[in-house]
Structure 1
Amino acid sequence: MDLYNIETYLRPKSLREVQDWQPNWNWLAGGTWIFNEVQPQVKTLVDMQRLNWSEIEVTPGGLSIGATCIQNDLLDFSFPEAWTATGALKDAVRELASFKLSHAATVGGNICLALSASTFAPVMIALNASYEIWQPNGEPYFVNAIDFQTAPQQTILQPGEVLRRIKVPDGNLTQWQTSFKRMAVCTAGYAIAIIVTAYHPQTNRVRFGIGGSIKSPRLIEFDTVPTPEQIVSAIGAFSPQMYIDNERGSAAYRRHITQVLMQRGITELTTGIKGKRRY
């Protein structure tokens, strides 16, 4: 879609070139969302491509993913063999959208758009990732993935702030096994529940990244493999107002599906019997 109201197009090579941020400015990463619907409030686009933030790096501390990394690049990257949890990152790409979209959309763009059906947000939460945020006139700072999104299409980012990179600690990648489960009204439709389960066989620790069914992604952790009753109790602690209630699915239905997918995810990982990703 053409954005006829755009008056200025900036292509900075560094963040220092972006000065005096205005309310009608908008960052442009892959562009798959911003060019998908009318943006009457946007007058200036700040293209991020020349910032060269598209890296995927294996570091002594773990994994670093640049904000403008194309999603499909995660499928082609050769991760260390011991990093078994990176399967969840690849599943997030496979379950997000079409082949065409994943070759243009960025990892950071999906996270910052903060849709309830984001496939990356629950993965990053399950892997205990952190986000490096750059400010136009200040020092960079880090925020935990669980604290980044506050509501559908709302994050902690202030005007002019931008996600620079995602970091996942080595300890949350090594020897963890993951399961990605997604439920939609129709197979390729908008997700009404997404559950990313991370399981550490040596310690029996379990982490559930929850998205799709609730207004902002959440984390549930267990020190040992939970029983069905413990899963029911854990999601019962969520406020009823936290669940999305719309034409795609009622709050009660989304809560039930969340419970079902959590149970299927941990059963798959503890039995070794591979199930479906998409329902």
Structure 2
Amino acid sequence: MDMPTVSDVIRTADPQQWRPGDAWMAGGTVLFSYGSDTLARLLDITAAGWESLTVSEDGLEIAATCTIAELFAFPDAAPAAAREQWPALGLIPLCCDSFVASFKVWNVSTVGGNICTGLPAGPMTSLTTALDGVALVHSPDGTSRRLPVTELVIGDGRTALAPGELLRSVTLPASALRARTAFRRLSLTNLGRSGVLVIGRLDEDGTFVLTVTAATKRPVQLRFAAVPTRAELRAELDRSIDAALWHDDVHGLPEWRHYMTDRLAEEIRAELAAPAPPAASAPAPPAASASANTPAPKEGSL
């Protein structure tokens, strides 16, 4: 960690205290990993006292300071009514495991930090976009605004946050949490960063939602009034994701990401088109993809 220009660390969650040269800090795992030679102050929001997870009739509010460890434990610790009525909670452990990170990282890394980093493979971006998460953002001028997480992460390492804006929380609506879901993830190596992560959702009203992350520079979401045919889904993927949007780095070539997105999207479409298995609430990756969904190891890094 190399941050020689930082002169002060202030414990605050008040956006009006922000000034140029400041950076908001929660877990700080990415900030400390990359370092900085320009930052003057760190604004530590971990003492804000925000409730990590709040259940209401409207859904689940996840504080930006909620750690990955807290979120991972939630499906088992949630109120009985939430566990019974929200089968999409099964996505939480799958997305948390997609970090492929040490339990030590899980205990400090935060949901908000992972989203605000804007990494294509950010699994908290995958989770919250797939479930129609809405971000609450506080601004230095004292105002607040809400926007879908699909509009918050806009590119590789890029977000729609203006200078000084602070992500307060993300709310997952109850309607999405009641949906039936399907999950697929692939990496070029057994314990590597996600190269393709696709999540499907079948809402109670029959709406079919497919969210593509990791393979693309920003989240891409497709929405159909009913489960589409294979041809309809493929055509919409081609229309929604142009060549420039496929991500290209050491974790996968654009051609591979494109091909595997099409393949996994079809697997998800077929799974959700079939009748739901009795008493099945959590999404289950197929045996063929099991090696690509290996639980996180005890040691590793983001």
1:161 to 156, 161, 165: 165
Are 1:192 and 1:254, in contact at CA under 8 Å, matched by a contact in 2? yes
1:230-266 Cα offsets, whole Å, 9 max, x none, are 2211111021111123343222221111111112223
1:21 maps onto 2:24 in alignment = no
1:205 to 201, 204, 207: 207
1:35-63 Cα offsets, whole Å, 9 max, x none, are 11221122211111111234201112111
Cα RMSD between the aligned structures? 1.9
Are 1:54 and 1:70, in contact at CA under 8 Å, matched by a contact in 2? no
Q: 1:139 to 1:277 in 2, by over 3 A?
A: farther
- Which structure has more relative contact order (CA 8 Å, sep 6+)? It is 2
1:185 shift after superposition:
1.0
1:72-91 Cα offsets, whole Å, 9 max, x none, are 11222233120111211232
1:227 shift after superposition:
2.4
Q: Which runs of 5+ in 1 are unaligned?
A: none
1:151 to 155, 160, 168: 155
TM-score between both structures, scaled by the size of structure 1: 0.91
TM-score between both structures, scaled by the size of structure 2: 0.85
1:187-217 Cα offsets, whole Å, 9 max, x none, are 11122111011123x5432111111111111
Q: 1:236 to 1:31 in 2, by over 3 A?
A: same
The aligned counterpart of 1:58 is 55
SS at match of 2:98: helix
The aligned counterpart of 1:186 is 189
Are 1:63 and 1:168, in contact at CA under 8 Å, matched by a contact in 2? yes
Distance 1:59 1:91 in 2: 23
1:267 shift after superposition:
2.9
The aligned counterpart of 2:224 is 222
Runs of 4+ in 1 over 6 A off after TM superposition: none
1:241 maps onto 2:244 in alignment = yes
Q: How does 1:47-196 map to 2 (within 5 A)?
A: 47-77=44-74, 78-79=77-78, 80=82, 81-98=84-101, 99-174=103-178, 176-196=179-199
Distance 2:250 2:121 in 1: 15
Distance 1:243 1:214 in 2: 4
Q: 1:130 to 1:103 in 2, by over 3 A?
A: same
Are 2:185 and 2:197, in contact at CA under 8 Å, matched by a contact in 1? yes
1:263 to 266, 282, 287: 266
Q: Which runs of 5+ in 2 are unaligned?
A: 278-283, 293-302
SS at match of 1:35: helix
Distance 2:55 2:208 in 1: 24
Identity %: 24
Q: 1:234 is aligned with what amino acid?
A: E
The aligned counterpart of 2:7 is 7
1:95 shift after superposition:
1.3
Larger helix fraction of residues: 2
Q: 1:85 to 1:37 in 2, by over 3 A?
A: same
1:108-154 Cα offsets, whole Å, 9 max, x none, are 00010010111121222221110000012221110111111111111
Equivalent pairs counted in the alignment come to: 274
